[in-house]
Amino acid sequence: MILLVVEHANGKVSKSTWEMVTAARELSQQQSVTPVAALVLGNNIAAIATEIARAVDQVLVADLPALAQYDPELWSAAVAQIAREGEASVILIGGSRSGREYSPRVAIKLDAPLLEDVISLKISGDKKLEAQRYTYLARVTETIETSAPIAVVTIKPGVFNPATPRAEAAEQFDVDLTLATSRLKVTGKTAERSSRVSLAEAEIVVSGGRGVGSAEGFTQYVEALADQLGAAVGATRAIVDAGWRPYSEQVGQTGKTVQPKLYIAIGISGAVQHLSGMNKSKTIVAINRDAEAPIFKIADYGIVGDVPQLVPAILAELKK
């Protein structure tokens, strides 16, 4: 059995889950059609279970008040238990921050290797798994291989094509869980307040760096262009450190990794830490005053010039 742990938010199956479904289906076909089971953890998740039933062969549901909030110990215990009971050979977990937080615990519980943040996955030889992943700030692609009959895998978001739902729905089963105790007590939450599309799921990202001049400049150029294009907003570490933008918008090594169809970098010089968070974007556009800025080396299209002149001109052109 291939076990896929469903990522969901706001009553919907996340895009990352549909990408995991693609990875699971590919593996399933290589392994003489091993069934794919989806595990849904949460509370009031009937709609999610119904939605994912059109993607897999079996849906396992743990709909419990205790699972209303994600917790690394609860999640890892639940996933390991279901993997053991179902004799899963591969456990697929999303490469979100939480997925990458609880997956190592699952691997230790199952005495399995962890293939972390992979961009490709296949069976190699005698049922072992081979995967590729980015290392060295996304500058190197490494191939790794398991030497165990079972593996825990986290799938890098935005790499696999999202699967399309099938016509028929798989059967749903409620599972009994032995719940772990959560020892991390959450005392408060600050949600990312944004009316815009989230960075992880956006098809277009408009980002700004020091070259936008000020926090006001960011609003005037980056946010205005993002709103015009229906894009998510990103920022460099330098301007997050300067307090112009919240950390939740930071793209790069210590922020988020994005891989949109279009990435527009405004006033960003292109430090390697920033590039590691966006250098896999399909099309990259750079707007910067300095023709020597490293960002131009990885840009498909660029304009060398002043942000305060260029961005309003682009906005005017888009509105024509």
Partner 1 sequence: MRILTYIRQVLDAEESVHVANNAAALENSKLVMDTMDEYGVEEALRLRESGIEAEIVAVAVGPARVQDALRTALAMGVDRAIHVETDTRLDPIALSKVLAQIAQQEDATLILSGGQQADWDSHALGAATAERLNWPQATWVSALELKGTTLTGKHDVDEGSETFTLELPAVITTQQGLNEPRYPTLPNIMKSKKKELRKESLDGFEVTPKLNFVSAGIQVKNRLNKILDGKDAPAAASQLVDLLRNQAKVIA
* Least CB distance to partner 1 at residue 145 (A): 5
- Residue 10 or 32 with smaller CB distance to partner 1: 10
Q: What is the distance between the alpha carbons of residues 256 and 125, in angstroms, rounded to a whole number? A: 35
- Residue 143 or 164 with smaller CB distance to partner 1: 143
Considering only residues 57 to 116 of the shown chain, the ones binding partner 1 according to CB under 8 A are: 70, 72-73, 76, 96-98, 100-105, 107-109, 112-116
- Residue 25 or 128 with smaller CB distance to partner 1: 128
- Residue 53 or 146 with smaller CB distance to partner 1: 146
CB 27 within 8 A of CB 90: yes
C-alpha distance from residue 274 to each of 203, 207, 229 (Å): 19, 11, 22
146 binds partner 1 (CB under 8 A): yes
Q: What is the distance between the alpha carbons of residues 203 and 259, in angstroms, rounded to a whole number? A: 8
316 binds partner 1 (CB under 8 A): yes
Q: Where does this chain touch partner 1 (CB under 8 A) — which range of 59-67, 81-89, 208-216, 291-299? A: 291-299
CB 69 within 8 A of CB 188: no
284 binds partner 1 (CB under 8 A): yes
Considering only residues 174 to 233 of the shown chain, the ones binding partner 1 according to CB under 8 A are: 183-192, 198, 204, 229
Binding mask 236-275 for partner 1 (x = CB under 8 A): -x---------xx----xx------xx--------xxx--
Q: Which of 11, 29, 145, 290 binds partner 1 (CB under 8 A)?
A: 145
Binding mask 148-177 for partner 1 (x = CB under 8 A): x-----------------------------
Q: Which of 26, 57, 120, 137 binds partner 1 (CB under 8 A)?
A: 137
Q: Which amino acid is at 84?
A: R
With CB under 8 A, what is the number of residues at the site for partner 1? 90
CB 237 within 8 A of CB 294: no
Edge-to-edge order in the sheet of strand 171-174: 128-135, 114-124, 151-155, 90-94, 2-5, 36-42, 58-63, 171-174
Q: Which of 24, 36, 59, 287 binds partner 1 (CB under 8 A)?
A: 287
Q: What is the distance between the alpha carbons of residues 50 and 231, in angstroms, rounded to a whole number? A: 30
* Least CB distance to partner 1 at residue 270 (A): 12
Nearest to 252 by CA among 270, 230, 225: 270
Considering only residues 8 to 27 of the shown chain, the ones binding partner 1 according to CB under 8 A are: 9
CA 86 to chain centre: 26
Nearest to 274 by CA among 236, 230, 316, 233: 236
Q: What is the distance between the alpha carbons of residues 277 and 283, in angstroms, rounded to a whole number? A: 14
Q: What is the distance between the alpha carbons of residues 95 and 256, in angstroms, rounded to a whole number? A: 11
* Least CB distance to partner 1 at residue 183 (A): 4
